[in-house]
Amino acid sequence: MRIDIFAEITELRYRGERSCVFVIKSGPSELVCTVSYHKLHLAPLVKEGREIILSGTLKARRRFRKGVEYVDNILYVEGIEVITRSPKEAH
């Protein structure tokens, strides 16, 4: 599912040579996001507290552990636009 979302980056979990994983918050919801190797040039834009417009593909990953099904929703990032506010808007 393709989505575009306005969000704040709340946590940088991992930034490596092949991927970057972070958490965004939009309203009351949080979502784990992954920048894959092919879009790794976007990783320097990922900073905690930054407001962004993010585009990507939302995928559900199913896991079974001890007979229980777990579903993780992960947003694979395809684009990031950083929101910059003027000093008037920030206060």
- 46: containing domain: 2-90
C-alpha separations of 43 from 34, 54, 86, 88 in Å: 10, 12, 24, 28
Full-model pTM: 0.83
pLDDT for position 87: 54
Domain count, the chain: 1
User: What CATH number does residue 36 fall under?
Assistant: 2.40.50.140
pLDDT for position 84: 84
C-alpha separations of 26 from 14, 16, 43, 75 in Å: 20, 25, 19, 13
Instruction: Write the DSSP symbol of residue 17.
Output: S
Average pLDDT, consecutive stretches of 10 residues, N- to C-terminus, the chain (91 residues): 94 95 93 95 96 94 91 92 71 48
pLDDT for position 88: 55
pLDDT for position 72: 86
